Structure 1
C-alpha cells in the first residue's frame, strides 16, 4: 500500500462494538483497497480496542485511544487530524457501507470530477428497532437550490449525515465543537462557500437510526436548538433569510418549539441579537390559535404572507 492512501476512512468510536463490527465487516468486503482506517476511540474501556485487533490482518487500521473522551463532534475532528490519506471519508460507527463497491464509486467520482472538492451520495436509513428502511435521494429542485444558496440546509439537510460525504484531507475544515444539533449543516454551509457539491445518485451508505444517537437527545429541545440555530445564523449574512426556504425553516423552528415571546429565546440560552423580522415572526405566530398554526397548509400560507410583508427588511 502507498504511504499516502487515496482515502482515509475515519471512524469516531464509542463502545458500540456490535455496530462497529458491522462497519468493519463492510470495509473488509470492499473491492477498492487504496484506503486506511483511522479509529479514534472515546470508550471508557477496551471493548473497541479488542475488536480492532481482530481486524488488524484484514485492514490497514490505525487505532488511537483518546486519553480523555472528546465527545461529539471533537472526536470526528480527531480522526481528521490523524488521517494521512488524500481524501477524508468520515463514517460514524453505527453506519456502514451499502455494497462492496461503495468506496470504488467514491474513487470513480473523484476521477470523473477533477477539481471537485466535495462529494455526497444517496443513502439508506435503517431503523434499528423496527427494521424499517428508507432510501434517501436529493431531488433536482433541492439540488439546484443547494447550489444557489447553501443556507437552504436550514430548511432540510438534503446532503445527509457526515457518513455520506467525501472531502479532501487539507486540514482546513473541521466540525464546530460548539454545536451538536446543527453541526453537519454548519460544516456543509461553510464548505460550500468555496466548493461546489457533487452528488453521487447511487446508494453507497447505510445509516443506522436509533435512540442511541446524539440527535435524538437534541430533538425539540429549546436549550439545544435555539442557541445552536442562532449560532449558525450569526455566521451568515442576515440576507439569507430572504430565501423563502430559509425563512420557512425559521418559521417552523419557532412554531415547533412553541416560542411565543422573545424572552423564551433568552431563557433557552441565547443572549445575542435577534433580527426584528424574527421578533415580528414570533409575535405573528402568537396571534394564531395553536390548532390553526399546527395545520400544515394554514401555517404555510401564514408564513408566505408574513414573508411578503417583511422581506424588504432583509438586506443581503
Structure 2
C-alpha cells in the first residue's frame, strides 16, 4: 500500500543541516509517509548519513545522481521517486518545527484542496549553522482567494514562501521548470493553482526555513543576467494580461528599477528578444522620468501609477 505522503529531499553536500531535517522527520507522530532522498553530492557523505536512518522511517529511498542534475532538475528527480499520494518537498536546510507538523499537513488531505501550505519561521544562520536570528512568517489569510485567482501576485511578494512549506497532491502532475532558478517556486505555484485552484492554509508555524549566505536567493536576486531571462520566460508562458493588476505591474517596475534597467536598450543588452509592448512602454516611461524620482520609494510609486494608468487599457 502506498504511503499518504512522500517527503522528498533534494540533497547536496549539506550533511549538518540534512541531519537536522532527518531528525525532525524521525520524531513525527504521523507515520503514513516515506522519505525519498535524491543526492547531487560529489562524495558519499550524504549517502552515509541517510543510510544511518534505515529503520527510523516507515520507508526510505536513496538515489545518487551521476552526473549531478542541479536545481531544479534534482527536485523533479526526487518527485519522480515518490509513490505517495501527496508530495512534500523538504530542502535539506529546512526542517519540521514540531512532532505533530506532518500530522497537521495530513489532516487537510481529505479536503478538496490539491495545494496545502503552512506558516513558517525564517532562521538566519551564521556560516557554522548557528541560528542568530528568527522571524515568523504568517500568511495574510484574507489574501488567499486573491492569490488563488492570480498566483502571479506572488511576484510582488512571495507570501506563500519556499517549497518546503508546501504539499501538493501528486495527481496534479506538476514539475518544476528546469529553466528557472530565481522564480522557480512562484512559477510552480502558478502552474499548480491554475490547474487545480483549491488551496488550504495551515495557520500554525510548522516549518523552520534555514537562511544562509550560500542560498540561491543570495546568488540570483537583483542580478540581471539571472532575473531578466527568467522574467522573459514568465511572459512567454503566461502572457501580459496579469499586468492589468497594478500590484503585478508594480513588481515589474520595481524589478527594473532595482537593477537599474531604465531603458529598452539596457534590457536588450541582457535579453535581446522582442519584449511585449507593455514592457517597452514601461521602460520608455522610466527613461523619461528624472532619476531622482526613481530613487525614492514614494515618488517611484507615483511614477509607476502614472505609467500603469497610461498603459492599462492597452495591455492584452
- Compute the TM-score of the two structures, normalised by the length of structure 2: 0.95
Aligned twin of 1:11: 9
d(CA) in 2 for partners of 1:312, 1:90: 41
Residue of structure 2 in register with 1:312 after alignment = 313
Structure 1, 234-243 or 27-36: larger mean CA deviation: 234-243
Question: Deviation of residue 231 (structure 1)?
Answer: 0.4
Is contact 1:81–1:171 with CA below 8 Å preserved after alignment?
A: no
- For residues 229 and 142 of structure 1, the distance between their equivalents in structure 2, rounded to whole angstroms, comes to 24
* Match for residue 56 of structure 1 among 39, 54, 57: 54
Instruction: Give the one of 115, 118, 123 matched to 1:118.
Output: 115
Q: Kindly indicate whether residue 90 of structure 2 is the aligned counterpart of residue 88 of structure 1.
A: no
1:303 counterpart residue number? 304
CA distance in 1, matches of 2:230, 2:149: 24
Distance across 2 between alignment mates of 1:212 and 1:95: 14
How far apart are the structure 1 equivalents of 2:61 and 2:290?
57
Match of 1:99 in 2: 98
1:110·1:116 contact (CA, 8 Å) conserved in 2?
yes
Distance 1:300 1:171, change over 3 A: closer
**What runs of 5+ residues in structure 2 fail to find an aligned partner?**
none
Alignment partners' CA distance in 2, 1:57 and 1:48: 17
Q: 1:253-309: per-residue Cα shift (whole Å, max 9, x none)?
A: 1111110221222221x2333122211211222233333312111111111111111
Residues 86-118 of structure 1 deviation map (CA, whole Å, 9 limit, x = unaligned) = 11000000000011001000001113x1x2111
What is the aligned counterpart of 1:128 among 125, 129, 133?
Answer: 125
Spell out the pairing of 1:183-198 with structure 2 (5 A cutoff).
Answer: 183-195=184-196, 196-198=198-200
String of CA shifts for 1:146-180, please: whole Å, max 9, x gaps.
Answer: 02311212211111111011111227210000110
CA distance in structure 2 between the partners assigned to 1:159 and 1:233 by the alignment: 21
- Secondary structure at 1:134 match in 2: strand
Alignment: residue pair count: 310
Cα distance in 2 for residues equivalent to 1:189 and 1:65? 30
| 1:177 aligned residue | 178
- Please tell me whether the aligned partners of residues 38 and 79 of structure 1 are also in contact (alpha carbons under 8 angstroms): yes
Equivalent residue, structure 2, for 1:263:
265
Aligned counterparts of 2:219 and 2:301: Cα–Cα separation in 1: 28
Paired with 2:75 and 2:213, the residues of 1 have a C-alpha distance of: 20
Comparing 50-59 with 35-44, greater Cα deviation is found at 50-59
Residue 282 of structure 2 is aligned to residue 281 of structure 1: yes
Q: Please provide the CA RMSD for this pair.
A: 1.4
Offset of 1:144 from its aligned partner? 3.3
* TM-score, reference length from structure 1: 0.95
Structure 1 residue aligned with 2:206: 204
Instruction: Quote the residue 1:168 is aligned against.
Output: 169
Distance 1:151 1:277 in 2: 16
Rounded to whole Å, the distance in 1 between the matches of 2:114 and 2:172 is 13
Match of 1:79 in 2: 78
Preserved contact between residue 172 and residue 192 of structure 2 (Cα < 8 Å):
no
